[in-house]
Amino acid sequence: MNREKKMTTEPMRRLVLFGGTPPLLHAAIHAQKHGIEVRVVSEEMHLEEDVNQGRSLRCCLDGEGVGYQDVEELDPEILRPWVDGRTVGLSIHPVWIFRREVIDLFGGRLFNFHAARLPLDRGAGAYSWRILMGERRGGISIHVLDEGIDTGDLVMQKCINFPQSCRIPEDYFRIDIPLRNQLVAEFIDAMISGDPLERRAQDYTQSTYWPRLNTPLQGFIDWRWSSEEIERFVCAFDSPYAGASTYRRGKVVHLRGGERLNGSFHPFQAGLVFRITNRRLYVATRDGVLIINDVVDEGGLPMTDKMRLGDRFYTPQSQLDDALSVRPVYTATGVKAGY
């Protein structure tokens, strides 16, 4: 059984937020409205990301009058003037691994927000991994930040059962984002009041870990898979991402809107477009049919109308090998391919 204990803190007067995404913006606005001094520590990738109907995080923070720093590395000396016994730190999808010096600076008042039902789905890319696995149970968690990856004691958690109507990441986010904002607000309110938090150790024997995903590097379809496996893969890399990748006439294209039907074909027919109706492509797989609604090129330009009967989608083996062997590394300056 997980050990539980109460965690008491002095009422918060300052909040340092690390990372980005819409929940960070919501946290900054919510805390500031309650009279809390807020500072955001972020980097170029997150600051330029769309967080509110076409507006970047940088633009939104400027509009709300929230101070922020754009840094490549977390330096304790930058943070030190902001941290005292009534400062709380909250990390929300950061690119950094927090070093011991930064953790110690907060004296046990540094937390991490994770969009999963810990100890399951540690790491990143939670919804894409869940779609691949056919798993509809999810959650959001806030835990004490330590030197491990999503391993600290839990202080808040919400579990979510997603409906069958959720097929692509965007569907999950539509349900998930309001709940993320709600949990972040509840956490901030608890920190402001100084109310004790239940602190619960994670059960490591039940944990799973999945690494970060990157659509351009890893989202390549293996047409030897079953219809169900390809459908899940296409859905996992659908909006808001670029779409699952494959080749058509020697060039990379992205597929969206996958839906499978029963059928019976030879493996050599897999990837062939055998029917086009109402701009929907019917593609043979080794054990059925995949219906594709949208094809775009690498620049995002529509390709569906250029598709012809008998066109074949295929992915070179070398591309599949690279997709399996690469491990994307996200840094303050962007993504790079690690192996």
Q: How far is CA 185 from CA 22, 24, 25, 26, 124, in A?
A: 13, 10, 11, 8, 22
The ranges of the chain with pLDDT < 70 are 1-8, 332-339
Chain centroid to CA 316: how far? Answer: 28
What is the pLDDT at residue 1? 41
| Count of other CB atoms within 10 angstroms of residue 261 | 12
Backbone angles phi, psi at 279, to 5 degrees: 65, 20
DSSP bridge pairs for 53: none
Cite the residue boundaries of each domain of the chain with CATH code 3.40.50.170: 4-210
Cite the residue boundaries of each domain of the chain with CATH code 3.10.25.10: 215-338
Burial of 207-220, coded b for 16+ CB within 10 Å and e otherwise, reads eeebeebbbbbbbb
What is the pLDDT at residue 330? 76
Task: Please answer whether residues 314 and 308 qualify as being in contact, where contact means their C-beta atoms are separated by less than 8 angstroms.
Answer: no
Q: How far apart are CA 71 and CA 243, in angstroms?
A: 31
pTM over 0.75: yes
Token pair of 231, please? 């459908």
Q: How far apart are CA 243 and CA 251, in angstroms?
A: 15
Quickly list DSSP for 232-254: HHHHHT-TTS--EEEEETTEEEE
Topology, domain 215-338: Methionyl-tRNA Fmet Formyltransferase; Chain A, domain 2 (3.10.25)
Q: What region, left, alpha or beta, does residue 4 occupy, with left being phi > 0 and alpha being psi -120 to 50 degrees?
A: beta
Instruction: For CA atoms 319, 320, 323, 325, give the dihedral sign.
Output: negative
Superfamily classification of domain 4-210: Formyl transferase, N-terminal domain (3.40.50.170)
Q: Which residue has the tokens 């059962």?
A: 161
Residue closest to 197 by CA, chosen among 144, 150, 145, 147:
144
Q: How far is CA 222 from CA 49, 99, 270, 317, 320, in A?
A: 31, 39, 10, 9, 7
Task: Please answer whether residues 116 and 133 qualify as being in contact, where contact means their C-beta atoms are separated by less than 8 angstroms.
Answer: no
pLDDT digits (tens, 9 = 90+) for 275-319: 999 999 999 999 999 999 999 999 999 999 999 999 999 999 999
What is the pLDDT at residue 196? 85
Q: How far apart are CA 49 and CA 45, in angstroms?
A: 6
Task: Please answer whether residues 212 and 235 qualify as being in contact, where contact means their C-beta atoms are separated by less than 8 angstroms.
Answer: no
